[in-house]
C-alpha cells in the first residue's frame, strides 16, 4: 500500500471561499493509499513548505499531492521541497483546485465535490509515478557558425574571445558577405570596408577560429551539446597551405572577361581569382566552369607561373567532420531578383520595371558597387549602358516588398534607409545631379535614422514623391518613369538617366535545404523561425541552434550585429556548464516488444528515434529496434500514442499513470 | 450559460488537454474568474500527440458522458507537429468510435490556445449543455457493469468518503 500525503491549500481565501478544504482533507484521509492529509492557509509559504517537508519525513511518505494552484505556478516549488526532504521530486504532483476549480465555480457543493475528484485523480496518478532522475548530457564546447557575413563574423569573434573554439563555414571563397560589398553605411556614412575588413582579419588570425571558406554544411547529426557536422570543402584547385597569396596567377590568367559576381556583373575577373582585393583568406579559387584548362585541357598558365606550386587541377571536394556543441545560423539574405522568373520560384512579379532588359535599370547593390571607392568604376557614378554620368536618377522603393498580390507582404526594413543614403552618395559625387525617390512610406525607426532621412530630403535635395510607379520604358537613351504623386494628386513623368530599384530582402536561396539538414523550421518566405517571437528571438525551437542576422528576417547591420552577439551569449551560456541537465520527461523503448516498424521514427519531430542493432557475442545481427536518444527527445509522447505494439513509454506520462486516472473518474 | 446544480442528471465530462496551450488556457479562465459548469475533469498531457485514442474509449467505458480533446492551434504546437499527428489520428478514430456505438456528438475536438480562456469556457459550457440534453451514455455503462472491473470506485472507504461530502 502506498503512503501518500495530501496537502490542501486555502490560498488565503482564494480556494477556501468556494471549496470546503477541511471536508476535502477529511475525505482525502480516507482514500486508499493516503497516509496523511491536511489543509493549511498558505502551503507555498515557508511554514507551509516546512510542513510538507516535515510530514514527508515523519510519515515516511512515498508520494505527495499538493492540492493548490496550477502546476504551472508552483510545481517546481513543491518538487524542490519534497526533494530537500529526501523524496524524488517526480513523486510529487499538483492537484489544480484553484484555476480549474475554486476560481471558476461559485457553488460550494459542486466545487468541493470537484476538488475532491481532482485530488483523487492525482492520488491515483502518484501511485503509479516512478522516481525519475534528471538526464545529464555532456557538452562539446565548440561552436559552429554557418555564414561569414557580418552576423556570422560577430558571433564567431564573440564566442572565440570567450575562449571557445569556433568553426566558421562560408560558402563563398571569402568571408565578408554583403557588408563587404557596400560602399558606405547609414546613418553615419562610414566606409563599410573600413569597419568590416579589420573584423575579417581578426577572424583569420584568431587562434580559436577554424575558418572554412568555399565550403558548405553537408550534413548535421546529433543534438544539443553533441552535434557532429560534416563539412564539404569544395575543390578550390589551389592548395591553401602552399599558396602565398601573391596574386601572380590572377594577373597572368588569360581568361579575364568573366563577370564579377562581387561587383554585381559590372566589372570582370579572371578564371582564377579572389572575389575582392581584401578577401579573407587571400587564397584564390579556380572557377572551373570558366577556366580554359577545365574546358579544353589547354592553358595551365597559372600552374606554370605559381612559384610555390600551389595549383592542383586534380583537387577534389573534401569532407571534414567537426564535433560541436552549438550552432549559430547566420546565412543572411539575397536580394529579390526581378529579372526573368525562375521556374521554381513561388513569387510572382518578375520582369517588372524593365530590370534585366533595360541596362540602366539596376538594383541597390549594383549602385553600392558603383559608389564604392574600391568598385569597378573607382567610385565614379556612371551608367552601365554608355558610361555617362547620370544627371537625373530615379530611385524606386518597395520593389517586391509590401506587395501582397505579388507574393511578398513584409517590409524589407533596410530599403528606406539605404535609398536615402544612395541619394546622398549620388549628390556628393554628382553635384549638379537630381535624385528622385518614389516611395510608399519612409520608415525610419532607429537611432539617428529619421534625422538621416531628413538630411537627405532637406539638405541633400532629394525629391521624394509619394506614390508608386505605374510604367517604365526606354526612350532613346533615357528611361521614362511614369508614376503618381498621391500627395499632390498629379501624374508625374521623369526622363531618367538611371533607375535604381530598392528590391526586397529575401531569404538566401537554399535556406530550406539547410533548414532540413539542421532540423529547424522556417516561415513561408523561408526565413528561419525563432522559438518565440518576443522572448526567445535568437533561439530555434531545436535546442542548441541559434539564429543571427537576416536569415531570420530583414535586418540592418546594427540589428544583425546585436542579434549575433545575443546568439553568441546564448552559446556561451550553454558552454558555461560542463553537463546539460534536463527534465527527464523522455520516451523509452521496450526493446523486447519493439517490432521495428519505426512509425515512431516517422512521427518524431526531433529526429530522436534511431535504429539500434542488437547483436550477439559473435557480432551477428539479431534484430533492429528503435532507440530514443534522451538528449534529443523533446518529450511530446507522439511516438507512444503512435506505437502499434505499445513499446514506447513516455516517462512521467505512462499509460499506467493515465489509465489510473481515467479509471478513477 | 452556467447552469444551476439542480439537474437530475449531472454529465461527466473528461477533457484531455495539452499542457502548453489548452491547460494554460483553462488556467487563464481561472485567473480571469470566468465561470463554467463544474462537470469537467481535466487530464493533462505534454501534447495532444500523446493522447492515445484508447484513452477516449476507456473514458467512455469508465462512465464519461462526453469527452473533449483540446490542444494548440495548428502551427502553434510546442513540439512542432504533435497536434497535427493528433488531428490525423482522431480523424481516423471518429469512424471507429461511431462504429462502436458512441454518438459523435459526445466527442469534441478543439484548439484552445494559452490566450483563449474565454474559448475554453465556451467549449466546455457548450459540450456540457449538449450532453445534458443528450442524457447519460447508458450503453457503455451497462457493459461496464457486466465486466468484472478493476477500478476502486466502489470500495467501502470511498463510499464513505463521498457520503461525507
How much is the pLDDT for A559? 97
Nearest residue on chain A to B81, alpha-carbon basis: A605
How much is the pLDDT for A134? 87
What value does the mean pLDDT take over residues A245-270?
93
Domain span(s) for CATH 3.50.50.60 in chain A? 142-332+508-575, 335-506
Distance CA A250, CA A277 (A): 11
| Residue A443: φ, ψ to 5° | -105, 110
Domain count, chain B: 1
Domain span(s) for CATH 3.40.50 in chain A? 4-128
Nearest to A663 among B34, B47, B151 (CB): B151
How much is the pLDDT for A342? 58
Measured between beta carbons, the chain B residues lying within 8 angstroms of A533 are none
How much is the pLDDT for A222? 82
How much is the pLDDT for A607? 86
Asked if the peptide bond before residue B37 counts as cis, ω within 30 degrees of 0, the response is no
> Please, what's the b/e burial string for B96-117 (b: 16 or more CB within 10 A of its CB; e: otherwise)?
ebeeeebeeebbbbbbbbbebb
Question: CB-based contact (8 Å) between A660 and chain B?
Answer: no
Question: Does the beta-carbon distance from B165 to A112 stay under 8 Å?
Answer: yes
Distance CA B57, CA A156 (A): 54
Q: Which of B119, B161, B163, B164 to mutate to test the interface with A (most CBs of A within 10 A)?
A: B161
Question: CB-based contact (8 Å) between A107 and chain B?
Answer: yes
Beta carbon pairs, A and B, within 8 Å: 158
Backbone Cα Rg of chain A = 32
Work out the percent of chain A whose per-residue pLDDT is above 90: 86
Nearest residue on chain A to B150, alpha-carbon basis: A663
Measured between beta carbons, the chain B residues lying within 8 angstroms of A117 are 41
Lowest mean pLDDT among A263-272, A388-397, A524-533, B105-114: A524-533
Chosen CATH of A335-506 out of 3.40.50.10440, 2.120.10.80, 3.50.50.60, 3.40.50.10320: 3.50.50.60
Using one digit for the tens of pLDDT, what is the confidence trace for A259-281?
Answer: 999 999 888 999 999 999 999 99
Nearest to A19 by CA among A102, A99, A95: A102
DSSP state, residue A522: B
Strand A209-212, strand A190-191: pairing: unpaired
Q: Give the closest-approach CA distance of A642 to chain B in angstroms.
A: 8
Distance CA A112, CA A21 (A): 8
Q: Which of A99, A125, A126, A602 to mutate to test the interface with B (most CBs of B within 10 A)?
A: A99
Asked if residue A440 has pLDDT above 70, the reply is: yes
Question: Does the beta-carbon distance from A99 to B30 stay under 8 Å?
Answer: yes
What value does the mean pLDDT take over residues A604-627?
93
Contact B43, B15 (CB under 8 A): yes
Measured between beta carbons, the chain B residues lying within 8 angstroms of A98 are 30
Sequential DSSP letters for A248-281: HHHHH-S---EEPTTTTTSSEE-SEE-SSTT-SS
How much is the pLDDT for B1? 42
Asked if residue A593 has pLDDT above 50, the reply is: yes
A341 or A183, higher pLDDT = A183
Asked if residue B2 has pLDDT above 50, the reply is: no
Enclosing domain of residue B66? 13-163
B140 or A556, higher pLDDT = A556
What value does the mean pLDDT take over residues B133-152?
69
Using one digit for the tens of pLDDT, what is the confidence trace for A104-149?
Answer: 999 999 999 999 999 999 999 999 999 999 888 889 999 999 999 9
What value does the mean pLDDT take over residues A216-237?
93
Question: Does the beta-carbon distance from B165 to A585 stay under 8 Å?
Answer: no
ipTM value of the model?
Answer: 0.86
In a domain, B7, yes or no: no
CB atoms within 10 A of CB A492: 18
Q: What 3-state class would DSSP assign to A126?
A: helix
Question: CB-based contact (8 Å) between A109 and chain B?
Answer: yes
Nearest residue on chain B to A97, alpha-carbon basis: B30
Nearest to B46 among A28, A585, A659 (CB): A585
Distance CA A520, CA A539 (A): 10
Q: Which fold has domain A4-128?
A: Rossmann fold (3.40.50)
Cross-strand partners of A482 = A471, A493
Question: Does the beta-carbon distance from B51 to A653 stay under 8 Å?
Answer: no
Question: CB-based contact (8 Å) between A468 and chain B?
Answer: no
Average pLDDT along chain A:
93
In a domain, B97, yes or no: yes
Residue A205 burial by Cβ neighbours in a 10 Å radius (0-12, 13-18, 19+): exposed
A350 or A32, higher pLDDT = A32
Asked if residue A343 has pLDDT above 70, the reply is: no
Q: How confident is the model at residue B154 (pLDDT cuts 50, 70, 90)?
A: low
Question: Does the beta-carbon distance from B47 to A637 stay under 8 Å?
Answer: yes
Q: How confident is the model at residue A336 (pLDDT cuts 50, 70, 90)?
A: confident
Residue whose C-alpha cell reads 499506467 in the numeric block? A656
Contact A152, A200 (CB under 8 A): no
CB atoms within 10 A of CB A300: 13
- Which set of grid coordinates corresponds to residue A266? 559590372
Distance CA A474, CA A451 (A): 36
Q: Please, how many CA atoms are within 13 Å of residue A453, restricted to the half-sphere of its CB? A: 18
Strand A258-259, strand A268-269: pairing: antiparallel
Question: Does the beta-carbon distance from B43 to A637 stay under 8 Å?
Answer: no
Distance CA A555, CA A607 (A): 31
Q: Which fold has domain A587-664?
A: Alpha-Beta Plaits (3.30.70)
Contact B36, B29 (CB under 8 A): yes
Percent of residues in chain B assigned helix, strand, coil, to nearest 5: 50, 15, 40
| Residue A346: φ, ψ to 5° | -85, -5
Element (H, E) at A56: helix A46-58
Domain span(s) for CATH 3.30.70.20 in chain A? 587-664
Asked if residue A446 has pLDDT above 50, the reply is: yes
Question: Does the beta-carbon distance from A114 to B153 stay under 8 Å?
Answer: no
Asked if residue A223 has pLDDT above 90, the reply is: no
Nearest to A658 among B31, B55, B164 (CB): B55
In chain A, positions 30-69, which contact chain B (CB-CB < 8 Å)? Answer: 30-32
Q: How confident is the model at residue A357 (pLDDT cuts 50, 70, 90)?
A: confident
Residue whose C-alpha cell reads 475528484 in the numeric block? A117
Average pLDDT along chain B:
86
How much is the pLDDT for A216? 97
CATH of domain A142-332+508-575: 3.50.50.60
Q: How confident is the model at residue B112 (pLDDT cuts 50, 70, 90)?
A: very high
Measured between beta carbons, the chain B residues lying within 8 angstroms of A641 are 49-53, 85-86, 89
Distance CA A113, CA A404 (A): 55
Distance CA A393, CA A183 (A): 18
Tell me if the pTM is above 0.80.
no
Q: Return the CATH number at B92.
A: 3.40.50
Question: Does the beta-carbon distance from B152 to A110 stay under 8 Å?
Answer: no
Nearest to B17 by CA among B44, B38, B41: B44
Question: CB-based contact (8 Å) between A105 and chain B?
Answer: yes
Residue whose C-alpha cell reads 579556380 in the numeric block? A286
Distance CA A124, CA A656 (A): 10
What value does the mean pLDDT take over residues A341-368?
75
Asked if residue A92 has pLDDT above 50, the reply is: yes
Asked if residue A442 has pLDDT above 60, the reply is: yes
| Residue A493: φ, ψ to 5° | -135, 125
- Which set of grid coordinates corresponds to residue A446? 532607429
Question: Does the beta-carbon distance from A100 to B36 stay under 8 Å?
Answer: no
B96 or B8, higher pLDDT = B96
Lowest mean pLDDT among A135-139, A161-165, A532-536, B53-57: A532-536
Q: What is the 3-state secondary structure (H, E, C) of B100-157?
A: HCCCHHHEEEEECCCCCHHHHHHHHHHHHHHHHHHCCCHHHHHHHHHCCCCCCCCCHH
In a domain, B120, yes or no: yes
Amino acid at each position: 500500500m502506498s503512503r501518500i500525503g495530501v496537502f490542501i491549500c486555502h490560498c488565503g481565501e482564494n480556494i477556501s471561499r468556494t471549496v470546503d478544504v477541511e471536508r476535502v482533507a477529511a475525505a482525502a484521509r480516507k482514500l486508499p493509499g493516503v497516509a496523511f492529509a491536511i489543509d493549511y492557509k498558505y502551503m507555498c509559504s515557508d511554514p507551509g513548505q516546512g510542513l510538507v517537508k516535515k510530514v514527508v519525513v515523519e510519515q515516511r511518505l512515498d508520494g505527495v499531492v499538493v492540492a493548490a494552484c496550477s502546476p504551472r505556478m508552483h510545481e517546481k516549488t513543491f518538487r524542490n521541497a519534497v526533494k530537500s526532504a529526501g523524496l524524488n521530486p517526480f513523486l510529487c504532483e499538483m492537484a489544480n483546485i484553484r484555476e480549474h476549480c475554486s476560481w471558476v465555480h461559485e457553488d460550494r457543493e459542486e466545487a468541493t465535490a470537484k476538488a475532491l475528484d481532482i485530488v483523487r485523480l492525482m492520488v491515483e496518478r502518484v501511485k503509479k509515478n516512478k522516481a525519475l532522475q534528471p538526464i545529464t548530457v555532456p557538452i562539446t564546447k565548440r561552436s559552429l557558425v554557418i555564414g561569414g557575413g557580418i552576423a556570422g563574423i560577430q558571433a564567431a569573434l564573440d564566442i572565440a574571445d570567450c575562449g571557445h573554439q569556433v568553426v566558421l563555414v562560408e560558402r563563398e571563397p571569402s568571408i565578408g558577405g554583403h557588408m563587404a560589398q557596400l560602399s558606405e553605411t547609414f546613418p553615419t556614412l562610414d566606409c563599410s570596408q573600413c569597419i568590416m575588413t579589420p573584423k575579417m582579419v581578426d577572424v583569420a588570425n584568431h587562434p580559436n577560429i577554424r575558418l572554412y571558406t568555399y565550403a558548405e554544411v553537408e550534413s548535421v547529426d546529433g543534438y544539443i551539446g553533441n552535434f557532429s557536422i560534416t563539412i564539404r570543402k569544395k575543390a578550390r584547385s589551389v592548395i591553401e597551405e602552399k599558396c602565398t597569396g601573391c596574386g601572380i596567377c590572377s594577373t597572368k590568367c588569360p581568361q579575364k572577361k568573366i563577370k564579377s559576381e562581387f561587383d554585381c556583373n559590372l566589372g570582370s575577373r579572371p578564371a582564377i581569382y579572389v572575389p575582392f582585393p581584401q578577401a579573407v583568406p587571400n587564397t584564390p579559387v579556380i572557377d572551373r566552369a570558366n577556366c580554359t584548362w577545365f574546358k579544353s585541357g589547354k592553358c595551365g598558365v597559372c600552374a606554370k607561373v605559381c612559384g610555390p606550386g600551389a595549383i592542383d587541377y586534380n583537387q577534389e571536394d573534401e569532407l571534414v567532420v567537426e564535433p560541436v556543441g552549438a550552432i549559430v545560423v547566420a546565412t543572411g539574405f539575397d536580394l529579390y531578383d526581378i529579372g526573368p522568373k525562375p521556374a521554381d520560384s513561388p513569387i510572382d512579379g518578375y520582369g517588372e520595371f524593365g530590370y534585366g532588359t533595360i541596362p540602366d535599370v539596376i538594383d541597390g547593390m549594383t549602385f553600392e558597387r558603383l559608389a564604392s571607392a574600391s568598385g569597378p568604376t573607382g567610385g565614379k557614378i556612371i551608367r552601365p549602358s554608355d558610361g555617362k554620368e547620370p544627371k537625373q536618377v530615379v530611385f524606386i522603393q518597395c520593389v517586391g516588398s509590401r506587395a501582397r498580390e505579388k507574393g511578398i507582404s513584409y517590409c524589407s526594413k533596410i530599403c528606406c534607409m539605404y535609398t536615402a543614403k544612395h541619394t546622398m552618395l549620388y549628390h556628393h559625387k554628382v553635384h549638379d545631379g537630381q535624385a528622385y525617390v518614389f516611395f510608399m512610406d519612409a520608415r525610419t525607426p532607429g537611432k539617428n535614422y529619421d534625422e538621416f532621412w531628413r538630411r537627405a530630403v532637406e539638405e541633400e535635395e532629394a525629391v521624394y514623391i509619394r506614390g508608386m510607379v505605374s510604367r517604365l520604358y526606354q526612350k532613346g537613351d533615357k528611361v521614362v518613369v511614369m508614376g503618381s504623386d498621391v500627395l499632390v494628386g498629379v501624374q508625374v513623368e521623369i526622363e531618367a538617366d538611371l533607375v535604381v530599384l530598392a528590391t526586397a530582402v529575401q531569404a538566401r536561396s537554399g535556406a530550406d535545404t539547410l533548414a532540413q539538414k539542421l532540423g529547424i523550421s522556417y516561415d513561408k518566405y523561408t526565413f528561419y523561425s525563432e522559438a518565440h517571437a518576443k522572448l526567445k528571438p535568437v533561439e530555434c525551437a531545436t535546442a542548441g541552434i541559434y539564429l543571427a542576422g537576416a536569415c531570420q528576417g530583414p535586418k540592418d547591420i546594427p540589428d544583425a550585429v546585436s542579434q549575433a552577439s545575443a546568439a553568441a551569449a546564448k552559446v556561451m551560456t550553454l558552454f558555461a556548464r560542463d553537463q546539460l541537465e534536463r527534465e527527464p520527461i523522455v520516451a523509452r523503448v521496450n526493446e523486447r516488444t519493439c517490432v521495428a516498424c519505426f512509425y515512431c521514427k516517422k512521427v518524431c519531430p526531433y529526429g530522436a528515434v534511431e535504429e539500434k542493432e542488437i547483436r550477439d557475442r559473435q557480432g551477428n545481427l539479431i534484430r533492429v529496434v528503435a532507440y530514443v536518444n534522451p538528449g534529443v527527445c523533446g518529450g511530446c509522447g507522439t511516438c507512444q500514442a503512435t506505437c502499434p505494439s505499445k513499446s514506447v513509454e513516455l516517462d512521467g506520462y505512462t499509460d499506467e499513470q493515465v489509465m489510473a486516472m481515467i479509471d478513477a473518474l | 450559460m452556467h447552469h444551476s446544480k439542480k439537474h437530475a442528471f449531472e454529465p461527466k465530462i473528461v477533457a484531455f488537454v495539452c499542457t502548453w496551450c489548452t491547460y494554460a488556457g483553462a488556467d487563464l479562465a481561472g485567473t480571469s474568474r470566468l465561470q463554467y459548469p463544474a462537470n469537467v475533469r481535466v487530464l493533462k498531457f505534454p501534447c495532444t500527440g500523446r493522447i492515445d485514442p484508447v484513452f477516449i474509449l476507456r473514458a467512455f467505458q469508465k462512465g464519461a458522458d462526453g469527452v473533449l480533446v483540446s490542444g494548440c492551434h495548428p502551427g502553434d504546437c510546442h513540439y512542432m507537429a504533435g497536434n497535427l499527428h493528433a488531428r490525423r489520428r482522431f480523424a481516423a478514430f471518429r469512424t471507429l468510435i461511431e462504429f462502436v456505438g458512441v454518438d459523435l456528438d459526445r466527442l469534441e475536438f478543439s484548439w484552445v490556445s494559452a490566450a483563449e480562456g474565454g474559448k475554453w469556457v465556451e467549449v466546455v459550457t457548450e459540450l456540457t449543455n449538449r450532453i445534458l440534453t443528450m442524457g447519460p451514455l447508458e450503453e457503455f455503462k451497462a457493459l461496464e457493469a457486466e465486466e468484472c472491473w478493476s477500478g476502486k470506485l466502489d470500495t467501502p472507504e470511498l463510499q464513505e468518503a463521498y457520503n461525507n461530502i
